Amino acid sequence: MSEVADSAVRKFQKELNAGTVALVLLSVLRRSKEPLYGYQIAKRLEETESSGMAIKQGTLYPVLRSLEAQGLLSSRVEPSVSGPPRKYYSITGDGIEVLGAWTEVWRKTRAFVETTLEGGR
């Protein structure tokens, strides 16, 4: 791929990730029976990676912090026997409401992009 194309692809993936990673994190925490810390979330996402998408663990942390700052997640820190303390995240009531609304936005955007790509016009 040319250098121009390569840089454009990285930019696009980064932009697409900005919203979708947050959506995916809320969704994983919505379905979890107990609070999860970063590494556990990364593990659950890895199991989905057969689809070819790789989300690096380093990508998760800023998004988790941003979701907490928005009031969509809450967290508590607990000591770990095997290393530094762990920060466990749970979804909040606002987070559950927002996940529903985001899912709706996602579905509409997806339909719009698909229609355009398939090229009715």
* Residue whose C-alpha is closest to residue 25's, from 54, 52, 61, 49: 61
CB of 34 to a second copy, least distance (A): 14
Residues numbered 68-107 forming contacts with a second copy, rule: CB under 8 A: 70-72, 94, 97-98, 101-103, 105-106
Cα separation, 108 vs 86, whole angstroms: 37
Q: CA–CA separation, 101 vs 97, rounded Å?
A: 7
Site membership for a second copy, residue 13 (CB under 8 A): yes
Kindly state the tokens that stand for 35.
């609070």
Q: Give, as one character, the DSSP assignment of residue 53.
A: -
Interface residues toward a second copy, by CB under 8 A: 1-2, 4-5, 7-9, 11-13, 15-20, 22-24, 27-28, 31, 44-45, 47-49, 51-53, 70-72, 94, 97-98, 101-103, 105-106, 108-113, 115-117, 119-121
